[in-house]
Chains A and B, each alone.
Chain A
Amino acid sequence: MAELTKTLPAPQTGKQRKSEDIGANTKHGIMSRRSKGDMVFDTLNTIFMIIFSIVILYPLLNMVAVSFNDGLDALKGGITLVPRVFTLKNYQTVLGKQSMFAAARTSVLRTVIGTVTSTMVTALLAYILSRKEFLFKKQLSLLYVVTMYVSGGLIPIFIVYKNLGLTNNFLVYILPGMVPAFSMLVLRTYMNGLPDSLAESAMIDGAGHMTIFIKIIFPLCMPVIATVALFTAVGQWNSWFDAMLYNKMDDDLTTLQYELMKLLSSVTNQKATAESAQHSTATVTPTSIRAAATVITSLPIIILYPFLQRYFVAGLTIGGVKE
């Protein structure tokens, strides 16, 4: 809190840069008084940052406002950040749809099951490959690293999956991509950094590899496991194409993202539907329903966002920046 109060007045007094300033050029500001050019730069930069923030946030907040607004009223336009005619009807309509409910269930299931299995299995592979005594670690690593660069392409993959019986099958969300090579590399690097003595002493006590992995190594890798798991979870939650390609025939297996996509295409017939809506008692429109569905679909991401931010940036710097 003390730091907060110290840094807050910086823009108002502004004449000197506080030494708490993070960033590249920390110290030089103290040395020199701010020149006129500096002031112009700072002013323009601040304006830019404000505009940038508005550009990012406004469309999202506007979507939230529309989702709480009466559908027909919203068509008149002019809704910005607060609903004009407040209603929960859009949400009631979305949540009341059987297809939406089933899709939400599938999305949650694929995210939970997919993330847990993928993270466990990938960590196990990383564990095997981090055993220094393992004779085939080079060959097995290569087998996986190659998959980062070479892919069979859409059609051959489609045919193989079809022959495996993965069409109209929930497993198509889980099995392909269960062992991402990149995550494996990140996990392996982390495990390689753990002291060998941990596994060795357990080995002497008679523990097998599975015991060592589950009881010792896996818990020690939690920070990086969290990163990988969050990566996987967001990917699972957001993907829509696999649902469209493999599972669109089965209503029980489509996902929220795919249902949202169907709502997108229905907006094209906006006017026709709006007119027909006027004759009925409903006051929802495709746009307002879509806004509500969008908010519901992005809710898990927003809730997870503080964690995402923390772990993703950490994960990115683990994997990306070499010094």
Chain B
Amino acid sequence: MFKDPDFAKKLKNQKSLLLLSIPFVVYVIIFNYAPLVGWLMAFQRYKPRDGLFHSEFIGLENFRFLFRNEDFILCVRNTLAMGIINLFLGTVCPIIFAILLSEFRFNMGKKFVQTISYLPHFLSMIILTGIVFDVLSMENGTINKVLMATGLIDKPVQWLAEPKYFWWIVAFATRWKETGWDSIIYLAAITSINPDLYEAASIDGAGRMRRIWHITLPGLKPTILILLIMNVGNVLNVGFELQYLLGNDLVKSVSETIDIYVLNYGIGKGNYAIGTAAGIFKSLVSIILIVIANTSAKAMGEESLY
């Protein structure tokens, strides 16, 4: 290829482009690809003193440790559970919200609701955590007050100290923050549905619900499926921020995710090899999940990601 005189000439002509692109190659190698070499640690009895190239290779020993480690199994369970709850609510809530908003008659109100619905998306996780603490607080928490006032509970509940509530608190906090934002894409899809369809349906005597069921939902189907595929691949990426910030010793058994395990083992205890192995496990499962989701979408004759 390099012997081609044409190629050499072309290369010379775009010397400045080539020079400009060199820093970008160096940058991405250092910041994105160099860490990948660190995956070797997962197969070593890694000691920082010996470095990556002199530590003893031990095959899959670190992974075997992980699967015999009860803490890790718990973390996998928690990640999966919160991931699935999040996948379900994260799909259903934005769709329902988008449909209701598009059916909302009061135009000014529509704009208003839409505008405030995005707002929480831009607030940081720290602020969200603070709001969750406030709303669920024992003494002055709004939730406890409302539930007491309506007689659903007799005395204030210490929500964040009870393991059985934790997953749902994370799920609802995430929905509070993201429902409006996530619904944007569905709203855009609804706007692109042909209005004639609705007109024809109402001439045929179809009511609101039937129009939603037979026109809006089928019109949303491709969007829903594409987003679902993407989100299935992200099921393990439930993040760790909320769990990390809201968690405490009382709910440790349900709050810790794989990412928190990596953080505690890797950074906290300095066991880099185990932390890396746990991270690799998570990446592998994610890739498998997205391939499964994509293949089944293809098998159903739907659009797929690749």
Contacts and interface: CB of A to CB of B under 8 A. Distances in A.
A257 B116 contact: no
Contacts of A150: 36, 283
Contacts of B17: 128, 131, 133-134, 209
A49 B102 contact: no
Interface stretch (A10-18, A94-102, A187-195, A214-222): A10-18
B239 to A, nearest CB: 10
Interface string A3-36: 0100110110010011011111111110110010
What band does the interface of chain B fall in when counting residues whose beta carbon is under 8 Å from A?
A: 35 or more
A298 B125 CA distance: 11
Contacts of A159: 35, 38, 272
B104 to A, nearest CB: 6
Interface stretch (A82-90, A108-116, A275-283, A315-323): A315-323
Contacts of B113: 49, 52-53
A273 interface: no
A32 B142 contact: no
Q: Among A28, A74, A264, which residue has the most Cβ atoms of chain B within 10 A?
A: A28
B25 A143 contact: yes
Contacts of A79: 140
Given A53-B113, A124-B20, A320-B185, A46 B106 contact: yes
Contact of B176 (A55, A143, A144): A55
B184 A294 contact: no
Contacts of A264: 126, 129-130, 133, 245
B16 A155 contact: no
Given A49-B100, A49-B109, A156 B27 contact: no
A38 B212 CA distance: 12
A257 B124 contact: yes
Given A260-B126, A261-B245, A8 B37 contact: no
A240 interface: yes
Given A153-B280, A155-B41, A264-B129, A238 B124 contact: yes
B104 A45 contact: yes
B35 A48 contact: no
Nearest to B101: A49
Interface string A47-75: 01100110111111011001000000011
Contacts of A226: none
A43 to B, nearest CB: 11
Contacts, number: 278
A202 interface: no
Contact of B262 (A35, A153, A164): A153
Interface residues of A, number: 105
A120 interface: no
Contacts of B25: 140, 143
Nearest to B175: A55
Contacts of B20: 124, 128, 209-210
Contacts of B90: none
Nearest to B116: A56
A154 interface: yes
B122 A178 contact: no
Interface in A199-216: 208-210
A4 B32 CA distance: 51
Given A8-B108, A24-B216, A321-B188, A59 B134 contact: yes
B169 to A, nearest CB: 14
B216 to A, nearest CB: 7
A178 B25 CA distance: 13
Given A45-B104, A52-B117, A154-B279, A298 B127 contact: yes
Given A59-B131, A153-B35, A24 B275 contact: no
Contacts of B267: 154-155, 158, 245
A112 B136 CA distance: 35
Interface string A238-257: 11110001000000000001
B289 interface: no
Contacts of A29: 202
Contacts of B198: 24-28
A25 B208 CA distance: 10
A196 interface: no
A168 interface: no
Given A53-B116, A77-B140, A154 B263 contact: yes
A316 B25 CA distance: 28
Contacts of A178: 27, 31
A309 interface: yes
Contacts of A294: 127, 130
A259 B48 CA distance: 31
B115 interface: yes
B57 interface: no
A156 B208 contact: no
B72 interface: no
Nearest to A28: B202
A57 B116 contact: yes
Interface in A128-143: 128, 131, 133-136, 140, 143
Interface string B19-50: 01100110110111011111101000000000
- Which 3 A-B residue pairings sit nearest by Cβ, starting from the closest? A152-B35, A156-B38, A153-B279
17 contacts: A31-B203, A32-B203, A56-B176, A59-B142, A77-B139, A128-B17, A131-B17, A144-B28, A152-B36, A153-B279, A155-B275, A156-B39, A209-B20, A210-B16, A245-B267, A297-B127, A320-B188
Given A25-B102, A298-B124, A313-B184, 9 more contacts: A7-B107, A25-B103, A27-B198, A28-B201, A45-B103, A58-B142, A128-B17, A158-B267, A175-B31
